Amino acid sequence: MSRPLIKLADIPTAAPEGVKEKHIKEETEDLVDRLGDLQQRLYADGKHSLLVVLQGMDGSGKDGAAHKVFDKCRITGLTYHAFKKPTEEEFAHDFLWRVHKVVPAKGMIGIFNRSHYEDILIQRVHGWIDEERVRRRMAAINAFEETLEFDNNTLVFKFYMHISHDEQEKQLKERMQEPDKYWKHNPGDWEERKLWDKYMDAYEYAINHSSIPWHICPVDDRWWRDYFIAKTLVERLEKLNLEMPELAGR
């Protein structure tokens, strides 16, 4: 059965009305603790892996979400990869080459800050690839993710970090005004912001043509962002009924 089309403009970018920030933050602390416990069980069990894709516009809080949500996870069971402009070696291979070699092994949680979707987002927005290549790459992405899920027991979670146009401006300005955020400032982010509508079209295409569904995560309120991601992951991992292995020889 086909899913209803997602229109990002129709989905709120902030926390639902009526929810209490203090209450949600307390719940998030519990969820983050529980995720840490589940990660240890996932690692010890060694039968599944978890790929978490954090994809969104500049300023949408991908780094912050990774830091907050996985705070209680052990580093031995985590991998983190931030996708930037491909290197010459990466450009010399197919677009999924640099991605496939960093997907999480069984027992691991892999976090992608941006991902393989860059190759049908920024490249499409700037006209570096035509629509036929976009279509073919989308098909390749679907096949790739399905292989991870159905052939390697990798749970694929894709979060679109849903930020409003106004909130993005606020976040980008903070990078210029707050000393501890200077390192994040990139003048090119402002140029990309001018292409907002094109990016929204490209994201909607990717979201609506994915065989594995996306989670649209409102991020204007960072405390809700953290809760949304942690809750989504914990609820799914709980269903695996992960058990710690028995003591060998007993």
Number of domains in the chain: 1
Region 191-210: what's the mean pLDDT?
97
31 falls within a domain: yes
User: What pLDDT is recorded for position 249?
Assistant: 60
pLDDT of residue 3: 80
pLDDT value for 1: 43
Q: Tell me what the mean pLDDT of segment 41-47 comes to.
A: 95
Q: Say how many residues make up the chain.
A: 250
147 within a domain of the structure (yes/no): yes
| Of the listed ranges 1-10, 134-143, 167-176, the one predicted with least confidence | 1-10
The radius of gyration computed from the CA coordinates of the chain, to the nearest angstrom, equals: 19
Whether 245 maps to a domain, the answer reads no
Do the domain assignments include residue 11? no
Residues 6 or more apart whose CB falls under 8 angstroms from that of 140 comprise 95, 96
Q: Is residue 7 part of a domain?
A: no
What pLDDT score was predicted for residue 247?
60
- Segment 209-231 mean pLDDT: 98
pLDDT, position 248: 63
Whether residue 3 is contained in a domain is answered as no
Does a structural domain hold residue 10?
A: no
CATH of the domain at 217: 3.40.50.300
**Pairing state between β 78-82 and 109-113:** parallel
| Residue 75 covered by a domain | yes
Residue 68: is its pLDDT beyond 70? yes
Task: Summarize the confidence of residues 41-67 as an average pLDDT.
Answer: 96
| Full residue range of the structural domain in which residue 196 is found | 20-238
